Every structure is written in C-alpha cells, then in structure tokens.
Chains A and B, each alone.
Chain A
Amino acid sequence: MSQKIEVKNANVYYGMEHALINVSMNIKANTVTALIGPSGCGKSTFLRLFNRMNDLIENCRVEGQILVDGQDIYNPKVNVNELRKSIGMVFQKPNPFPKSIYENVAYGLKVNGIKDKRLIEEKVEQSLKQAALWDEVKDKLKKSALALSGGQQQRLCIARALAVSPSVLLMDEPASALDPISTMKIEELIFNLKSSYTILIVTHNMQQATRTSDKTAFFYMGELVEYDDTRTLFTNPKFERTQNYITGRFG
C-alpha cells in the first residue's frame, strides 16, 4: 500500500521557540494514528501541520516537506483554502456554531459556494448518519446546535467536518471534554470511519490510543521519540522515555 502522508524533516518555530524538531513520519491510507505525549510536546503542532492551521499564528515558521498523496502541501502554489477543504478537523472542545444543527453541517458546503438545496440536504443527512447522530437529531434539524449534549455536539462537529468530503480527518483530543459514554461512542465512530478516512488523533488517554489506533507516535519536547504499531509501542517500547510515559511515571 502506498503512503497517504509523508513527513520529511519537519521543523516548526514560534518566533524563537523551536516547537517541532526534525520530525519524519509516514502514514498509510485508511489507518488511525494516535499522537501521544505530555502537554506541550508538539503533538498538536504536528497535527495542525496538515491543514496548515499553524499559518494563522503570527510569526510561526514551518520548514521541511509534508506530502499528502505525494503532493507537497507547503508548496507556495498550493491554495490553503482548497487544502483545508480536503482535510477535516475536529477540535478538543465541541465548538458548534451558534446556529441550527442543519446549518452547522451545511456550513462547509455553503462556504464552498454550493447552493443546490437538494444536494445540501442529502449531504447533511449522509454526514449525520456517518457521525452516528442522525437518529437522535433527524426531527430537530432546525433546532439550535447549542441545545445538544456535549457528546452530541462533538459528533455534530465530526459530521460538519465530514460534510465537505475530506480524505484525512485530524482530531485534536476529540473526547477529552466528554463523559465516558460519549467517549465510547466517539471511539466506535472512529473505528467505523477508518474504512473511508485516514485519521490522526491526538490524545492524552493511553487506553484510548490502544483502543482506537493502528499506529502510535510518542512525542517528547518537540521530538518524535518513537513511532510504531500501537501494540508494539505499548507492550514493547524501544526507548526508556516511552516506557516511562506509558507507564505513567511522568506527564
């Protein structure tokens, strides 16, 4: 199988701060990759490389090569808005827009200039079904998204990301603000979405990483320490720092 994502010697600087140091990594299509490590280790910075969200931070500088489907996404000719449409993102806290459920999912289509109402309705239904939320909200699509529970809101945010048909899904601690039952639903969802998407997930929760991911990458102080099959990394880590982290001796 070919590589979906190739990262070659990526460096990220925030002003004087060297936030990500010489990271290289290959990710296959239709896999789930967990990014773990203590706070401030660079895993979120790494995640935000792929949809160039780091560009929004003043005096942030990126070096190295990041290829998605063999195309360098930091090539100056690449259109950032086009890129972000093909790479979905789900954030740490559920952040639905203060609009109706329907409007939330339709948003991505509308900002893409799609006006065909039938098409939008179809896409909304399909995305909500994919996010396993359809049955719960199909009768109240016009209600405010803020009236949903936290877990429902997060699944709505996933549906919102799926509506624009991305091929990669970035998830920044998607379950950290949720209760155990909602977390479980999100994890099931991740498993089901794997067949159609390549998923990168940042998590603080080691169990979650073992439950959901095929591969795991351990970051520490801006460096990629270890990257391996999830089972190998958790049962037989090569480095002591990884061992210390996954057994809870720090961080």
Chain B
Amino acid sequence: MKKKEIIVEKFLLVCTLITVFTSAAIIGILLYQTVYFFSEVSVWEFFTNTKWTPLYYVKNYGVLPLLAGTFLTTVISLLVSVPLGLTIAIYLSEYAPKRFREMVKPSLEILSAIPTIVYGFFALTFVTPLLQNIFPQMAGFNALSPGIVMGIMILPLVSSLSEDALHAVPRSLREASLAMGATRFQTSFRVVIPAAFSGIAVSVILAISRAVGETMIVAIAAGQQPQFTLNPFVPIKTATTYIVEVFSGDIEHDTVEYRTIFAVGMTLFVFTFILNNISYFLKKRFQTNL
C-alpha cells in the first residue's frame, strides 16, 4: 500500500520533470548550434551588420534587418492592441452592465482562438488592399497590414487580462471615490487603474512577447525582404519569418546557413524569455499585493 503511493508520487514527479528537460533541450540545442555559428561568424558582425543575406552568393550575417522587422510589426500591433484593449477592459469592468460584459467578453475571446494562419490570410487578402486605397504608395507586402491584424489577434489577451486586473480592485475603493462626487471616468483613471497597474503591465508585456514570437501572420503578409528600415509601407522580414522561410525551401544540415536559424532562434528566445520572466514576477507581486 505504502509502496504504491511512493511509486505514484515518483511517476508524477518524473512527468513534471519533463517540463524541465524541455527547457533544457531548447536551451541546449540553441546554444550548441549558436556556439558553432559564432565560431564561423563574428558576434560583432551579427549584431552590427545591417545586411542579412546568408543564403546568397555574397553572404552577410547582420541580424539587425530581421530585428528591425520584428520591432516594427510588434510596435504597430501594440499601437492597435494596447489602447484599444485597455479601453475595452475599462468599459467592460467599470461601465458595462453585467449582462453585456458576460456576453461580450467570451465573444472577444473568440478572436484569440482563431488560428494565426487565418489572420495571415485576412491581412493579405483584405486589410492590405483596403489600406492600399488609403496609402497608394504601399507595397503588397508591408509591415503595416500584418501589424494591425496582429494587434487584433492580441486584443483579447490585453482586454481580458487587464479586465481581470481591474475587476480584482476592491469595490470599496471605487465606492470611496464615487462617494466623493467623482465621476466613473475620474474613478477609473485616478483610482482603479493605478491600483491595477502591475496587472495591466503583465498583460502588455505578454502582448509584446506574443507579438515578437508571432510567425504566420508576418510570414504571409509582411514579405520576405530583410530591410533595415522602419518604413511600414515596404516589404520587410521578421526573425520568425526567416526561420519559417528557410524551412520552406531545401537546406543542408550543419552548414553555416543552417546554423543561422538557430542564432536567430536564440535571439528570439532570449528576448521572450526576459519578457516572460518580468511578467511572471509582476504577476506574483500583483497577487500578493491585492
């Protein structure tokens, strides 16, 4: 009887440890290939060269164009999702009748259940032509359209998590403010939002992390040209797009070209790793503070 209990516990522990092995394996393979990569390409070139042409005859290994692409699409998506998502969160938490909130919140969450490939199609075939009517100089592939669509995809993440954070602010604080004659608007912006600040910050950081790692929308609609630019109207290439693009063609294993993928992957991983950790600790702090 006792023995069985111990075996069960050990089995459960082993299952839990698989998550640790997963992390170790991710870091291990990225590190392994990246170290090889940097034995052939200098770190200096990787981070300062503004050209990325590892698959061409004249090879350049500057990651900056890819990072610029990722930065551009991420910023555009945040410009859409953060103001819109926060406003929605405030409306649902502070203004909307309970019924409305209970209906709208799950409907918005449908947006996050839609596979990203669908958003890619939407960006390429609907949003880009629409935007070209407004900006005639815009190319068929560009950062603006996938950026906006990515913002829509992230919207429920921001609005739901922020709404949860606002909702967790005690009612008594709102009552104190309203009882002094403050309007709902004043109460929301002067009392509720500051009290829920770290919860809202978590939602924004997770949104950044999602946008940085998003692949299919940009791979479909942003183009395949690594350009060191912040122009939202021209084709660009993000870090994630590069990885997918290489595998869509044929590539020989264990060459410098092959290892570029892991160097780019490592850059992505480090970035999202930092963001995820910040959001995790902010979340812990928010939970203990309320």
Residues of A participating in the B interface, judged by any CB pair closer than 8 Å: 51, 53, 56, 58, 80-85, 88-89, 91, 93, 95, 97-99, 107-108, 110-112, 157, 160-161, 164
Contacts and interface: CB of A to CB of B under 8 A. Distances in A.
10 contacts: A58-B98, A95-B170, A95-B172, A97-B176, A110-B190, A111-B177, A111-B181, A111-B182, A112-B181, A160-B176
A85 B180 CA distance: 5
B194 interface: yes
B26 interface: no
B194 A164 contact: no
Given A93-B172, A111-B190, A88 B180 contact: yes
Contact of A81 (B97, B98, B182, B195): B182
Contacts, number: 70
Interface string B155-199: 000000000000000101101111111110010001100110000
Interface in B72-107: 97-98
Interface in B228-253: none
A171 to B, nearest CB: 12
Contacts of A98: 173, 194-195
A91 B176 CA distance: 8
A164 B181 contact: yes
Contacts of A160: 176, 180
A98 B177 CA distance: 12
Contact of A84 (B172, B179, B191): B179
Given A58-B98, A91-B172, A98-B194, A107 B178 contact: no
Interface of B: 97-98, 170, 172-173, 175-183, 186, 190-191, 194-195
Given A98-B195, A99-B194, A111-B186, A81 B175 contact: no
B181 A95 contact: no
A108 B180 contact: yes
Contact of B178 (A53, A82, A110): A53
Contacts of A108: 180-182
Could you say which of B173, B176, B178, B181 has the most chain A C-beta atoms within 10 Å of its C-beta? Answer: B181
Contacts of B177: 97, 107, 111
A111 B176 CA distance: 13
Contact of A161 (B178, B180, B194): B180
Contacts of B170: 95
B178 A84 contact: yes
Contact of A83 (B172, B181, B183): B181
A81 B183 contact: yes
Residue from the set B180, B190, B194 with the largest chain A CB neighbour count within 10 Å: B180
A112 B173 CA distance: 18
Contacts of A85: 180-181
A82 B180 CA distance: 9
Contacts of B182: 81, 107-108, 111
A82 B181 CA distance: 6
A157 B190 CA distance: 17
Contacts of A83: 181
A81 B181 contact: yes
Interface core residue of B170, B177, B194 (most chain A CB under 10 Å): B177
Contacts of B179: 51, 53, 84, 88-89, 91, 161
Contacts of A97: 173, 176-177, 191, 194-195
A79 to B, nearest CB: 9
Contacts of A95: 170, 172-173, 175-176
B186 A58 contact: no
Nearest to B185: A111
Contact of A56 (B172, B178, B181, B186): B178
